[in-house]
A and B are shown apart, each in its own frame.
Chain A
Amino acid sequence: MNVSLEWLAELLGRELDAADASHRLAMLGAPVEGIETLNQDLEDVVVGIVEQAGSHPNADRLTLCHVNDGSETREVVCGASNVREGAKYAYAPAGATLPGGLRLSARKIRGVVSHGMLCSPSELGLGSDHEGIMELLTDAEPGTRLLDAMPLKDVRLDLEITPNRPDLLGHRGVARELGAVYGAPVKLPAIPHAPVDGKTARRVESHGVVGGVEVSIEDVGGCPRYMAAAITDVKVGPSPTWLEARLRAVGARPINNVVDATNYILFELNQPMHAFDLDRLRGGKVIVRGAQPRERLRTLDGEDRALDPQMTMICDADGAIAIGGVMGGHESEVTSETTTVLLECAYFDPKRIRRTRQTLKMSTDASYRFERGTDPEGMDDALRRAVALIRAVAGGSEPEAAIDVYPTPFRTRAVFLRPERVEHLLGMRIPVDEIERFLTSLGFAVAPKDGRLHVQVPGWRPDVTREVDLIEEVARLHGYDSFPVELRAFKPSAVPADSREPRRAQLRRVLTGHGLHEARSFPLNHSDRDDAQRLSNPLSAEESCLRSDLMTGLRASAERNWGARERDIRLFELGIVFTATAPGHLPDETERIAAVISGARTPPHWTGSGHASDYDLWDAKALAELTLGVVGNRADLAVSGDRWVVTDGDGRERGWVGPVTADQPAWAAPLIGFELDLDFAHAAHVQYRELPTTPAIERDLALVLPAGVSAADIEASVRSTSGALLESLYIFDEYRGEVVSGRSVAWRLVFRSPGRTLRDTDADGAVDRVLAVLKEQFNVERR
């Protein structure tokens, strides 16, 4: 929200330094997002007095002026009709730069040299008027900088206001916060030329008449209080400079004096108001009611809007004229022809405004404030001030007191505060009189009662509803930074740590140790799978599902890397995947691990002539087995086509290892990977095994395997046949060639007995038995 520093200063009756005020506001909970010094582009413009205004020798419509800028008098050609002798104007001398970057120089206009120009408000960025030049009602001497002569110096602060503090959406609320820390009370400034005959509003229960209009509330839930004042004989026109300057300072666009006055009150007191052209209200009625089915309204922004009964409408005898608290209608808008104004000052229910605003997909300055909660108790004063302001800037009179339709007055909220609870929660004793002082400075009415404080909450603080809210106020004003930083004794957590975390860390260590980078893929993607969990409001079709696997993301990552001409890819990812369950139930979340590898197995090195071999299936298989080893549960790899399927102890499929199909360039190496469920076993500690003290005997076994016989078949047979002496076996060679039919696979068998030194005969005997069985089982023989 934009606030004007000058406006705040006026409310506090003291000067404010932008940096200091910003810091204090930040430390009170309203951080400043931006500080902008306004009208800096008017540096070069000075006050000039027209000593003489004569006609231009060569042009009827131009005036030749003698302008005194304090040091000398120069000839200036002026095209405006309102220039007169003896008046002061905004004068931009030759050499000056105007807003928008235009740099002036002395130049001939119809044969006469003009030394600069007399400026209109629009040329100075100060108004929409570009017909006449800007006459200055100022006592400042000629030559004075315009910025010093007129109320144009200002600094705009862009405040971030949290949704619980609607009061800070008005300058008075912001000033109140600053006043509490500066020790300066807030006082509303007098309105220049304001009338003194303000009247107290007449309260009625359900309906009453003002300005010949009968005002009534039917939708009390949506609008618990509705005030209206009638102002006659107004003259709609531009606002005075000071009013326009205030609005411009907060970034609002001046419209006309009546509308500007209501906006001024909105920015000052945070009370949105609406001005209707009273003569355009049909049937002499204003009715506040819920919208009727299929009712429509053309709002001020020109949109034709469909309404629903949840919306609170302001209606005349013939139908809706405004969406209450959101936006006025086109038909009853104040225009230059308006002479009688009906000024509305109401309280609308925040929740209803929120729903209306969401249904209509629109937000206005008014709805933004009503949605957060305006001050139902401050409406009286706000309306009186608004009427006075309109009369001051647009003339007119208020023949009768405003009407205040207020069926059930709000009850002032009171909250009890226990001083010892303040100490309990804040960890530091704060004297009671200090607590009282803090709360009082913010407008709370505090009275001690039975050892507690009875605190009345002002209407502008809808956020304060219980004791802890007051404790926050105390902490805020005491200053968060003034509490000590002191690490005191604590008890350790009763919540057990997630036991899987060390295993995740171990997996990361193992796989990064093998050269793979940890990936993190975006968890939303597109999926055609039936069991994918879809979103009902995705940002795009490409991000419409929760991922049901990790490989989709890794494959896309591989393709992006190829796109960056990167041939060597080594990635793994640990993450959650989702599977939809029954409608209305949360999806299943499963933890997975996946990896992809492609390209060189090691970095190039000069000893290898720069060529390293590429990753193949066997690397992926080993990495998967390594991963499964960390996971610790039983897992079997079964061959299935060109890949392996991983099953758990119950035979359920829990993952796969194999080639990955991807959109790869011709130069890329094969992409291989795996994806596995991560159901960690209970972490068993490694149990020490006795180190061997006896030598081992090795035997190599090169076998010719006919088609259909797998290495796993052979190994299973070897293990079961060779007995306890076989310590280990592994394949060390495979040969496929013309010499042998099928293929030749060579195993090394290692025999050892823990108790004695084996003889060759022990090993040879075992080998003989193995060969006999293999011959019988698979018709396999030695090569």
Chain B
Amino acid sequence: MPDHPLYQQLDELAKAVDTIALADEAELAELRTQLLGRKSGKLTHILRGLRDLDSDARRDVGQRANRLKQQIEAAIAAREEALAVPRMTASDVDLSMAGRRQWQGAIHPVTAVVDEICDIFREIGFTRVTGPEAETEEYNFVKLNIPLDHPAADEHDTFFLDGQAKQPCGEWKAPGRLLLRTHTSPMQARTMERYQPPIRIVVPGQAYRRDPFDPSHSPAFEQIEGLVVDDGVSFVDFKAGIDFFVKRFFSPETEVRFRPSFFPFTEPSAEVDVQCQLCRGSGCSTCKQTGFLEIMGAGMVHPAVFERCGIDAERYTGYAFGMGPHRITMLRHGIPDIRMLYLNDMRFLGQFAL
């Protein structure tokens, strides 16, 4: 049956549909007559030929022909519409008009900074992990060699969780009260308890301190912790690791300065300063005329921390650091108030869309 000549004619007509889209006005009129004309239209001819077929073939060819007729009519209509639009020549087009944009979303600038920092450390063998924000005194303080009855604990003004005994744990009695971690450092202890060296981790996450909001403080803030533990990790490795990060993150020319400081969980401890990115070290109001900005606290892991976390303090050494992506984000983009980073203002976030 498909070898009936009508099928061949249908196939040929189907090809003609494609030519409709290219026709100009005169050609279109011609095609319309040629295909659909009442007298000599090709399709009309096929439909007339149906009566010579048996009933099965008649239904099949009839349906095909009708569908084809619809297609042809649609194509002609579409072409007519297209031709109706005044055809523009190059000189008519005002190419200064705006292109058609789509909304473009932005990654939050703090996320972008966190990701960039973690990616840089990944280059020198660090893995990225996360940990819980609600913690115990044991992990937040005790295992990190921060005695609760020492002024060193004062810098950690702590939010405690409701629904528990109010008694602080005794000097080193675990696990003590429940709290919101005041730094991401508890993950140092959690990691050392779970894994054997070599340990090289970065831990981004939210930390909390009971400081009221002001332009540079927020009761919740992002922090990135770093920890390295292995055989023979020294102060030189520490300086090199931090220096690698700073030069990658800021610029190869950026000067890095290590200053002695004090943190209960590192010894020797250091503050890391980088050359002020605004004045390039010549002194301005942002760096309080010092030419440097403090970006992280760091140091060699205190052996007491190793001892409390079950790591052989005589065999292993390591370094740790902590930095605040909120502050770094503010410095990088010149954002004057940390609250901007929590308000989710469309106009603000939109500035970070590409």
| A-to-B contact residues, CB < 8 Å | 26-29, 31, 33, 162-165, 350-351, 354-355, 371-372, 424-428, 463, 466, 468-469, 471-472, 475-476, 480-481, 483-488, 490-498, 501, 505, 508, 511-524, 533-539, 543, 546, 553-554, 557, 560-561, 564, 566, 568-572, 576, 578, 580, 583-587, 589, 602-603, 605-607, 760-761
Contact = CB atoms under 8 A, between A and B. Distances in A.
Contact of B262 (A29, A426, A468): A29
A27 B290 CA distance: 13
Contact of B220 (A466, A524, A560, A602): A524
Given A498-B129, A521-B344, A589-B132, 18 more contacts: A29-B261, A33-B288, A162-B261, A350-B150, A426-B236, A480-B260, A481-B257, A484-B236, A487-B241, A488-B236, A516-B103, A517-B105, A520-B344, A557-B343, A570-B105, A584-B163, A586-B134, A607-B100
A505 B197 CA distance: 28
Contacts of A561: 344-346
B197 A490 contact: no
B136 A586 contact: yes
8 contacts: A165-B262, A372-B151, A427-B234, A480-B258, A495-B129, A496-B127, A534-B161, A538-B159
Max chain B C-beta neighbours (<10 A), residue from A492, A505, A602: A492
B236 A519 contact: no
B134 A486 contact: no
B151 A163 contact: yes
Contact of A490 (B124, B150, B154): B124
B105 A516 contact: yes
A300 B98 CA distance: 75
A425 B235 contact: yes
A560 B151 CA distance: 40
Given A427-B235, A519-B349, A569-B346, A485 B243 contact: yes
A537 B151 contact: no
B220 A481 contact: no
Contacts of A468: 267-268, 300, 302-303
Nearest to B349: A517
Given A519-B108, A760-B63, A493 B198 contact: yes
B269 A472 contact: yes
A667 B244 CA distance: 52
Contacts of A355: 149
A99 B104 CA distance: 59
B161 A520 contact: no
Nearest to B260: A29
Contacts of B201: 493, 495
B178 interface: yes
Contacts of A480: 239, 258-260, 268, 270
Given A468-B267, A485-B239, A536-B160, A605 B345 contact: no
B68 interface: no
Contacts of B239: 480, 483-485
Question: Across chains A and B, which 10 residue pairs bring their CB atoms closest together, nearest first?
Answer: A515-B103, A427-B234, A427-B236, A512-B105, A29-B260, A162-B262, A557-B344, A534-B162, A472-B268, A493-B200
A539 B198 CA distance: 41
Nearest to A468: B267
Contacts of A538: 159
A539 B349 CA distance: 28
B98 A606 contact: yes
Contacts of B103: 514-516, 568, 570, 602-603
A487 B125 contact: no
A146 B237 CA distance: 55
Contact of A535 (B100, B162, B234, B260): B162
B240 A533 contact: no
A486 B262 CA distance: 24
Contacts of A463: 262
B249 to A, nearest CB: 15
A571 B124 CA distance: 34
A522 B341 CA distance: 9
A471 B268 contact: yes
A490 B154 CA distance: 36
B16 interface: no
Max chain B C-beta neighbours (<10 A), residue from A487, A538, A568: A487
A387 to B, nearest CB: 30
Given A27-B259, A163-B151, A354-B149, A492 B161 contact: no
Interface string B202-243: 000010101010000011100000001010101111011101
Contacts of B154: 163
B80 interface: no
A297 to B, nearest CB: 24
B164 A494 contact: no
A484 B258 CA distance: 12
B161 A587 contact: yes
A164 B200 contact: no
B40 interface: no
Given A491-B230, A536-B160, A536-B162, A589 B108 contact: no
B33 interface: no
B254 to A, nearest CB: 13
A463 B267 CA distance: 11
Nearest to A567: B346
Interface string B97-136: 1101111111110110001000000001111111011111
B8 interface: no
Contact of A495 (B127, B151, B180): B127
Contact of B178 (A165, A584, A603): A584
Contacts of B150: 163, 350-351, 354
Max chain A C-beta neighbours (<10 A), residue from B135, B240, B302: B240
Given A469-B267, A605-B101, A554 B260 contact: no
A493 B106 CA distance: 32
A318 B103 CA distance: 80
Contacts of A163: 150-152, 154-155, 262
Contacts of B110: 520
A493 B201 CA distance: 7
Contacts of A511: 105
Given A472-B269, A520-B110, A533-B161, A488 B240 contact: yes
A553 B210 CA distance: 20
A409 to B, nearest CB: 24
Nearest to B194: A495
B38 interface: no
B69 to A, nearest CB: 15
A497 B128 contact: yes
A537 B104 contact: no
B196 interface: yes
A172 B161 CA distance: 44
B199 interface: yes
Contacts of B132: 586, 589
Nearest to A32: B290
A518 B162 contact: no
A491 B198 contact: yes
Given A427-B236, A517-B105, A534 B260 contact: no
A486 B239 CA distance: 8
Contact of B244 (A426, A487, A496, A517): A487
Contacts of A539: 210, 212, 219
A425 B269 CA distance: 13
Contacts of B197: 494
A29 B259 contact: yes
B32 interface: no
Contacts of A424: 232, 234, 317
B165 interface: yes
Contacts of B244: 487
A514 B136 CA distance: 40
B332 interface: no
A580 B347 CA distance: 35
A543 B220 CA distance: 11
Contact of B234 (A426, A537, A553): A426
A219 to B, nearest CB: 18
A393 B347 CA distance: 67
